[in-house]
A and B are shown apart, each in its own frame.
Chain A
Amino acid sequence: MMPSPRASRIALPVTLLLLAGLMVASLGVGDLRLGPARIWAGLWHHDELAATILWQIRLPRLLVAMLVGAALAASGLVMQAYFRNSLASPGLLGVSSGGAAGAVVAIGAGWVSRSLLVLPAAAIAGALLATGAVLILARRGASTERLLLAGVALNALLGAVTSYVLSNFTLSYERNAQILFWLLGGLEDRTWEHGAIALPIVGAAALLWPLGRPMDLLSLGALEAQSLGVDVRRLRRWLLVLATVLTALATAVAGTVGFVGLIVPHVLRLLVGPEHRRLVPLSLIGGAAFVVACDLLGRAAGGLRVGIVTSLVGGPFFLWMLRRQA
């Protein structure tokens, strides 16, 4: 079945509307419920209580959620085109775990207090290491089995690094919460500082924007793309760097939030077809909407971490995809 042209046309406005609705809901829902009127008043400091809640807690959390979602979905989309495999994603391949391990090592070693840049830099280093390992283990155009097995091994290894560092360098009473944060991902207590760390995601997304068309050609074969006039070596290098940086920044502020990079591009591809010129902007917006929605669900369920919610949604979805592929 091909997606209908109508679905393709309305997808962008619908996704934007959906995101806007979720943003309002995310700002309104909590211990103190705020209606749209009070949110408006709070944003302009006409209502001091609402202003405090919004500016101190809910707005930074919303910003981080959106950036994380956009980054992970775009990263997944890029990896799927790169590996020519719709099951590739930062979580399954271990790139997220690499970012988390990098961030945790920096925290454990006590480097983080030196500069705001240390945490994202360490996450990027960890994610790059993981990406390099995936490349070596699973070559380009690798079979699903090889890719997933490489991911399983890396996820286990890097998860062990994260747990080891946290259990040796953190005080025991905060240890469990910390391990859970990095391994399961979360948006609790996110501040403007986290928003600032994640802000380069916007720049990386902007760099990705014009690569949609060459990604179409690459996703049907590297040699074919090269023969049609794509500078494949350069494109691949860019795509890998962008995908890795996007995942690393997301992981640096929210831990490993799984399945976003798998589900969002996949669902969008089913809806509007595989053309990346459409999928790049849609994945950015759709990813933001998906993580904000999962965060809302988690909060409604009494404070479930966002990583748990995405996994609860994503796990069954992934199994369904595997069944479909088989």
Chain B
Amino acid sequence: MNALDLIGVSVPNRLHDVSLTLAPGTLVGLVGPNGSGKSTLLQIAAGLLPGGGAVRWSDRPLGDIPVLDRGRAAAWVPQEAHFEFGFSVRSVVAQGRFAHGDDDRGIEQVLSRLDLLGLADRPVNRLSGGERHRVLLARALATEAPLQLWDEPLAALDVRHALEVLVLADEIKRAGRTLLLSLHDLRLAHCLDMVVILHEGRLRAAGLPTAVLTPALLREVFGVRAEIAPGLVLKLP
């Protein structure tokens, strides 16, 4: 069984005939320059954007899955966290349980896991950008969905929280769930099981990080010269 199948997915002017298969229990990174179609691909995979081609979750065509069931099967984290109303952090995270009949199960653990217990009663529209992003990740985790689709989960986070999210992602994967996340910092790619490179809306390469992130390809896709050099290395204590 595959966790996610994208078969010839297309969106006019944004994504061209992308096919991709993710096995359960894998941590997959989606990389590419700005405007290469990463967010679009994640939205298609999450069933939030209509497009050509087919999407399957756990071998089921998306069209056969009722909306409420989708809320339990996959979680999507948007790139931007905008909140107009002052819901408390706890109540936003609890929204992750909507498709489970609002049973509030596991909310406290998720809050604690993302270092949000101290902020749980604060209004979410008064938080910093990074804190808001952690709230969105917590809400996605609260769904307990086996497929997690995260759009730039690390971009707004400080270095410690970014490393913690990567550790968390690894745990989730070990528990048999599947993560597809877009990221810009290629230095973090060594944590991933697989890297998918998008370029101008097309799938350019997919495979092991060491196999895919070659100097030649990085030069072609990003227009940069890659060098391996010793430098500052940051790890959790």
> Could you list which residues of chain A lie within 8 angstroms of chain B, going by C-beta atoms?
1-2, 84-86, 213-214, 216-217, 219-221, 223-224, 226-231, 269, 273-275
Given contacts A227-B70, A227-B74, A230-B67, A217 and B87 within 8 Å (CB-CB): no
Question: Complex Cα distance A224/B143, Å?
Answer: 12
User: What residues on A are CB-neighbors of B70 within 8 Å?
Assistant: 227, 229
Question: Min CB distance, B50 to chain A, in Å?
Answer: 11
B71 and A229 contacting across the interface, CB-CB below 8 Å: yes
Question: Min CB distance, B63 to chain A, in Å?
Answer: 14
Residue among A86, A217, A227 with the highest chain B CB neighbour number at 10 A: A227
Question: Min CB distance, B48 to chain A, in Å?
Answer: 5
Q: Which residue of B lies closest to A1 (CB)?
A: B123
Question: Min CB distance, A139 to chain B, in Å?
Answer: 15
- Beyond A86-B85, A227-B48, list 6 extra A-B contacts (CB 8 Å): A213-B102, A219-B84, A224-B78, A227-B46, A227-B47, A228-B71
Question: Min CB distance, B47 to chain A, in Å?
Answer: 8
Question: Min CB distance, B151 to chain A, in Å?
Answer: 10
Question: Complex Cα distance A227/B43, Å?
Answer: 9
Q: Which residue of B lies closest to A223 (CB)?
A: B48
Question: Complex Cα distance A213/B98, Å?
Answer: 8
User: What residues on A are CB-neighbors of B176 within 8 Å?
Assistant: none
Q: Which of A216, A220, A229, A274 contacts B72 (CB 8 A)?
A: A229
B123 and A269 contacting across the interface, CB-CB below 8 Å: no
Q: Which of B68, B87, B98 contacts A273 (CB 8 A)?
A: B87
Q: Which residue of B lies closest to A214 (CB)?
A: B98
User: What residues on B are CB-neighbors of A216 within 8 Å?
Assistant: 87, 91, 95
A228 and B88 contacting across the interface, CB-CB below 8 Å: no
Question: Complex Cα distance A90/B92, Å?
Answer: 27
Question: Complex Cα distance A85/B75, Å?
Answer: 25
A86 and B43 contacting across the interface, CB-CB below 8 Å: no
Indicate whether B171 reaches chain A with its CB closer than 8 angstroms: no
B74 and A219 contacting across the interface, CB-CB below 8 Å: no
Question: Complex Cα distance A2/B91, Å?
Answer: 12
Q: Which residue of A lies closest to B96 (CB)?
A: A228
* A and B contact pairs by CB, cutoff 8 A, 22 listed: A1-B123, A2-B88, A84-B84, A213-B98, A216-B91, A216-B95, A219-B84, A220-B83, A220-B84, A221-B82, A223-B43, A224-B76, A224-B78, A226-B48, A227-B47, A227-B48, A227-B71, A230-B67, A273-B87, A274-B85, A274-B86, A274-B87
A221 and B95 contacting across the interface, CB-CB below 8 Å: no
Question: Min CB distance, A238 to chain B, in Å?
Answer: 14
B143 and A228 contacting across the interface, CB-CB below 8 Å: yes
From residue 14 to 38 of chain B, which have CB atoms closer than 8 A to chain A? none
User: What residues on A are CB-neighbors of B96 within 8 Å?
Assistant: 228
B74 and A2 contacting across the interface, CB-CB below 8 Å: no
Indicate whether B155 reaches chain A with its CB closer than 8 angstroms: no
Question: Complex Cα distance A266/B71, Å?
Answer: 30
Question: Complex Cα distance A229/B65, Å?
Answer: 11
User: What residues on A are CB-neighbors of B98 within 8 Å?
Assistant: 213-214, 217, 228-230
User: What residues on B are CB-neighbors of A84 within 8 Å?
Assistant: 84-85
User: What residues on A are CB-neighbors of B71 within 8 Å?
Assistant: 227-230
B95 and A228 contacting across the interface, CB-CB below 8 Å: yes
Question: Complex Cα distance A2/B47, Å?
Answer: 35
Question: Complex Cα distance A217/B98, Å?
Answer: 9
Q: Which of B69, B82, B86 contacts A2 (CB 8 A)?
A: B86
Question: Complex Cα distance A213/B46, Å?
Answer: 22
Question: Complex Cα distance A230/B48, Å?
Answer: 12
User: What residues on B are CB-neighbors of A275 within 8 Å?
Assistant: 87, 91
Q: Which of A2, A221, A269, A274 contacts B78 (CB 8 A)?
A: A221
Q: Which of A214, A220, A226, A231 contacts B92 (CB 8 A)?
A: A220
Indicate whether B121 reaches chain A with its CB closer than 8 angstroms: yes
Indicate whether B99 reaches chain A with its CB closer than 8 angstroms: yes
Indicate whether B202 reaches chain A with its CB closer than 8 angstroms: no
Q: Which residue of B lies closest to A232 (CB)?
A: B67
Question: Min CB distance, B87 to chain A, in Å?
Answer: 5
Question: Min CB distance, A66 to chain B, in Å?
Answer: 27
Q: Which residue of B lies closest to A85 (CB)?
A: B84
User: What residues on B are CB-neighbors of A274 within 8 Å?
Assistant: 85-87
Indicate whether B122 reaches chain A with its CB closer than 8 angstroms: yes
Question: Min CB distance, B41 to chain A, in Å?
Answer: 14
Q: Which of B68, B74, B84 contacts A86 (CB 8 A)?
A: B84
A231 and B67 contacting across the interface, CB-CB below 8 Å: yes
Question: Min CB distance, B223 to chain A, in Å?
Answer: 31
Q: Which of B43, B68, B88, B92 contacts A229 (CB 8 A)?
A: B68
A273 and B78 contacting across the interface, CB-CB below 8 Å: no
Q: Which residue of A lies closest to B86 (CB)?
A: A274
Question: Complex Cα distance A84/B85, Å?
Answer: 8
Question: Min CB distance, B101 to chain A, in Å?
Answer: 10
User: What residues on B are CB-neighbors of A213 within 8 Å?
Assistant: 98, 102
Question: Complex Cα distance A306/B203, Å?
Answer: 63
User: What residues on B are CB-neighbors of A269 within 8 Å?
Assistant: 85-86
Question: Complex Cα distance A288/B68, Å?
Answer: 35
B86 and A273 contacting across the interface, CB-CB below 8 Å: yes
User: What residues on B are CB-neighbors of A223 within 8 Å?
Assistant: 43, 48, 76, 78
